[in-house]
Amino acid sequence: MNNQIKTFLLLAGLTVFLVFIGKLIGGTGGMQIAFVIALAMNFFSYWFADRIVLRMYGAQEVSEAEAPELHRMVEELSRAAGIPKPRVCIIPTDNPNAFATGRNPEHGTVAVTTGILRLLTPRELRGVLAHEIGHIRNRDILIQTVAATLAGAIMILADMARWTAIFGGGRDEEEGGLGVLGLIVMAIVAPLAAMLIQMAISRSREYIADETGARLCQNPDALADALEKLAYGVQVAPMQANPATEPLFIVNPLSGGGMMSWFSTHPPIEDRVARLRAMRSY
């Protein structure tokens, strides 16, 4: 399935799920209250998260004089993407990684670590930068914020269900409610389901950024080679990353295969590399 369509269907699924459990747990009023609270939280995140995360990891903006090659790559790729040139920052850590942030293409920032600058060749680094500029071009920060808003509202409703069950509230099953047992089950299942859908959206956006980046740098193998190096590099030099910021990075050292991939914000590296290699025949 096309990843753009998959993202749309997952967002629609989150919305329907929110409405459904909102009516079951707290009626229309409870659903609206939860949504407003989550929307306010994520509105703040959307406008200020870029500054917060850059400060969190000690990212320092660098000038063209300080990093001419890095700036040249970013400028060429952003021109190819048809977006304004993002700010360029460097994070002082051995962990080889990179991320993009900013609420829209006019306020984008690309951040790379000193570790990735040492590990990758210029060709591979260009592939990584193309991936990050792909995130900015595709407005993934906005999409992730919408997903987080919906998931946050669902989790607030789940908390309402838990406290309602503890204090013996809620509508009886005969009245169309869930009953105490139903509220307890919903309080457990709803956050897990919302988290799984939100992570699936994050994985879909990674695949899209990989494809966009490969086309921008016109070299799918460059990004594929970089991902293979990074998968090993982040294990050798792990970063003490805040779990809330893991989806930002190009590779996630906590992702795993098998069933654990359901709980990862990133697709398995092997799958991403295989898709990029397949693009050579296009």
- pLDDT tens-digit map of 97-135: 999 998 889 999 999 999 999 999 999 999 999 999 999
- Do the Cβ atoms of 4 and 140 come closer than 8 Å? no
Give me the helix-helix angle, 122-137 and 220-236, nearest 10°.
Answer: 100
Least confident of 216-220, 261-265, 268-272: 261-265
Residue 240 C-beta-side C-alpha neighbours within 13 Å = 2
Type of residue at 62: V
27 vs 219: which has the higher pLDDT: 219
Give residue 255's pLDDT. Answer: 46
Instruction: Report the pLDDT value the prediction gives residue 34, as an integer from 0 to 100.
Output: 67
* Spatial CB neighbours of 22, under 8 Å, sequence gap ≥ 6: 28, 30, 31, 32, 34, 35, 153, 157
The pLDDT value given to residue 36: 76
For the whole model, what pTM was predicted? 0.80
Is 131 one of the annotated binding-site residues?
A: yes
Select, from the ranges 177-186, 225-234, 243-252, the one with the highest average predicted confidence (pLDDT).
225-234
66 is in an annotated binding site: no
Is residue 253's pLDDT more than 60?
Answer: no
Residue 258: pLDDT over 50: no
Residue 120, Cβ neighbours under 10 Å: how many?
Answer: 22
Query: Could you tell me which residues are beta bridge partners of residue 248?
Result: none
Residues catalogued as catalytic: 132
Q: Domain limits of the chain?
A: 3-281
Are 107 and 77 in contact by the 8 Å Cβ rule? The answer is: no
Is residue 266 part of an annotated ligand binding site?
no
- pLDDT over 90 (residue 24): no
